[in-house]
Amino acid sequence: MVLSTKPVNSEFLCFVVDRSRVLAFDDIVKICTDFFSDDEILLARQVIDNLGIRLPKRQGVNKIRSTVEDIVKVVLNPNTSLPEFYAVNLNRLPPISVTHCDVAGILCELQALRAEIRGISQLKEEVLELKKEMALLKQGREDMCSKRYGVTPTAAIPSSATKLLCDTDTVVPTKSFANYAQDVAAADPPEFKRAVKKKSKLIIGAANGNSSLKSIQTIRTIDVFVSRLHPDTANNELIDCIQESKGDICVSDVKCTRLQAKYAHLYSSFHVALMVHSTDLHRAVDVFMSPEAWPSGVFVKRYFKKKDGSDQ
């Protein structure tokens, strides 16, 4: 079969035709299947079909490998005269041996390697400069310590002096950090010693013999939450209980407010506001927040209001 002699652009067919002279059938099939993409293989099959050679349409998992085998069989068929195939993109021609290496690819890798080596050399120079700066900073710090505290760093002692100290077993006295801190505090007292302003102590008069002066009577309110009471408990019963428990504490007024209980048929809850003199406030809190002031089983705790005025 004699076909058109016009050259055709196909990297895949160019490689197959050229390498089929030196490689075995299975090697060419494996290299083409691993290197070329599916689209390149199917495009090469379409080129063969356009030349008038009908290849079977392969199906299944191994259709690409089977298509490559069909194309290689057509190329190896001595009765088929194919046109010349050429490659435009040389990167799509897989290298086979040392004599068929991709020189362009090797050159690109070599250029990238040279760029990395230059970068490493520049980084090495920067590290050396950084070490020099660190050494200068360390030397400056040692000089500053030597001038301020009179301490000579070990690195600044000559080797001959170090040898002499070792030979004579002389112990060089050194200062601890606490001693340095004390020296600095003594030199700069304002930075280490802050004057603490003493607060004036507030006192409250408690003498009862002086009748010429009288203080105003201020009233403080103690809010108490009382719960687990009988559902029929009345306000007067709470007031009587408080009057019995107050002792010598002056309670000017008592206000009882029934609260909405969750189970009103089982128990009742109250907000009790006790108004006492400010001088009796602490004693009143101790008395009315003690278990002895309330009947057995009654639940009592402090009652607080939210900042917006609502109960909690």
Give the domain ranges of the chain: 8-96, 102-158, 219-302
Which of 87-101, 105-119, 196-210 holds the top average pLDDT? Answer: 105-119
Lowest mean pLDDT among 15-24, 103-112, 157-166: 157-166
**Any residues with CB less than 8 A from the CB of 132 and at least 6 apart, and which?**
none
pLDDT band at 56 (very low <50, low <70, confident <90, very high): confident
Kindly report which listed range (24-33, 138-147, 152-161, 175-184) carries the lowest average pLDDT score: 152-161
Residues with Cβ < 8 Å from 149, sequence gap 6 or more? 175, 180, 183
- The per-residue pLDDT for 69 is 92
How confident is the model at residue 175, as a pLDDT? Answer: 65
Q: For the chain, give the percent of residues with pLDDT over 70.
A: 77
Contact 47, 20 (CB under 8 A): no
State the Cα–Cα distance between residues 85 and 73, nearest whole angstrom.
16
Q: What is the pLDDT of residues 159-189, one digit of tens each?
A: 554 444 445 444 445 667 777 777 766 665 5
Average pLDDT estimate for 119-132: 87
Sign (positive/negative) of CA torsion 281, 282, 284, 289?
positive
- Superfamily of domain 219-302 in the CATH hierarchy: Ferrodoxin-fold anticodon-binding domain (3.30.70.380)
Provide the pLDDT confidence category of residue 60 given band limits of 50, 70 and 90: confident
